Amino acid sequence: MDIAIEDLLKCMLNFYQNVDKQLKAKQDEEKLLNDQQQDILHYIEATTLNASGYAKVGKRLKQLRLERRVVKNEIEKLTLIQGLTQKHNNRMIQGDIIQLLKGLQTIEKRQAEPKYVCRTNILEKLEEKQNDSRNTNEVTIT
C-alpha cells in the first residue's frame, strides 16, 4: 500500500475535524478587527485632530479595512467548505476515516510479520518423511 494514501486520509481527517475550528477562529478575528475599527471611529468622533492626526488615523483605518477584507474573504470560502462538511454526516465520515487508518495499520503490521496457519496436516507428514529420510538416508516419494 502506498504511503501517500495514508497521508491523504490523514489530510481528509484533518480537513473534516478542523473546518469548524478554522471558521470560528476567522470569525473571532473578524470580530476583533470590527471592534478595532469601532474604536478608531469613536476616537475620531471624540477627539479633535489636526490634518496630520487625521492622516495617521485614516492610514490606520485603511490598513485595518484591508486586513478585515482578507479575513472576510477567507470566512466566505470556509463557510462554503463548512456547508459541504455539514451536508454529509461529518462525524460518520471522521469515524470511517479513523477506522480505515486503523485497518491499514493493522494490515501493514500483519504484512510485515506474515504468519500462516496450516489448514491441513500435510506439512506434518512432509516433516515426518524428511525426518525418517534423514535417519535412514533413504528418500521415498509417495
- % of the chain exceeding 90 in pLDDT: 42
Give the number of domains in the chain.
Answer: 1
Report yes or no on 53 lying in a domain.
yes
Report yes or no on 120 lying in a domain.
no
Report yes or no on 141 lying in a domain.
no
Report yes or no on 138 lying in a domain.
no
Q: Tell me: the pLDDT tens digits for 61-95?
A: 999 999 999 999 999 999 998 888 877 766 778 78
End-to-end CA distance of the chain: 42
Question: What is the greatest pairwise CA distance in the chain?
Answer: 115
Q: Tell me: the pLDDT tens digits for 106-131?
A: 888 888 887 777 788 877 777 777 77
**Lowest mean per-residue pLDDT among 31-45, 51-65, 110-124:** 110-124
Supply the DSSP string of 87-122, one letter for each residue: HS-HHHHHHHHHHHHHHHHHHHHHHHS-----SSSH
Confidence of residue 134 (pLDDT cuts 50, 70, 90): low
Report yes or no on 43 lying in a domain.
yes
